[in-house]
Structure 1
């Protein structure tokens, strides 16, 4: 509930005319303030997609969905970036060798066997490597 109240405060701040709705221009100001960049066209599209009552404006619930969606998109991008740090070749998976190399760069010495065991814990299809989906599952359990 605390997070909802935070969203309410942000919503109220950007609802500059106090009508209880966020128009595309207000949404664009909000997204810029929180570090996101959206063109005028993207904002209009986002409002059109997320507008639950068809009035061309966002109510608080619509606004929360957009903000949470943007945060989730950012988390997914960060996770993909982290995954790619461990991927060594065009195969697109984390191998014991690439895991060992990255751990070594991070100052943690592990044997090849240790790395195989680490991968085996989250290797859902038992192919000896971690796909992005398996990495994502591993990170969500951490």
Structure 2
């Protein structure tokens, strides 16, 4: 699992807090999970979260708790789970199922998740280029995996 920095968690929190009330609710988190086809219902989420909504500090503690549990469960199983998670994440981005992520697919998924702003000046081609080792303008699974497992960029 790729560990997120606090500024990345803060940005995710702001995106998830769709109503701007300073809390991420079960419904808002369920919205995200639904967008990435993770079948967790509101009741299960509330059970996992331990309450109906989290402020930023609680959200960060919640993320850290889940991250730590994943690391603690580790062992030889961790690599298998990580690989399976990456395959599922890859499928979310590979919209046409051809085994590659194109610039258009990347932009579409990031937009759907509320993580892409056209006015930002970012270009998904440059995002892909950084990890596109065979220079075909697409990300295959191994390139995607390297991107997701990067430690410092």
Q: Which has the higher contact order (CA 8 A, sep 6+)?
A: 2
Give TM-score, length-normalised by structure 2.
0.46
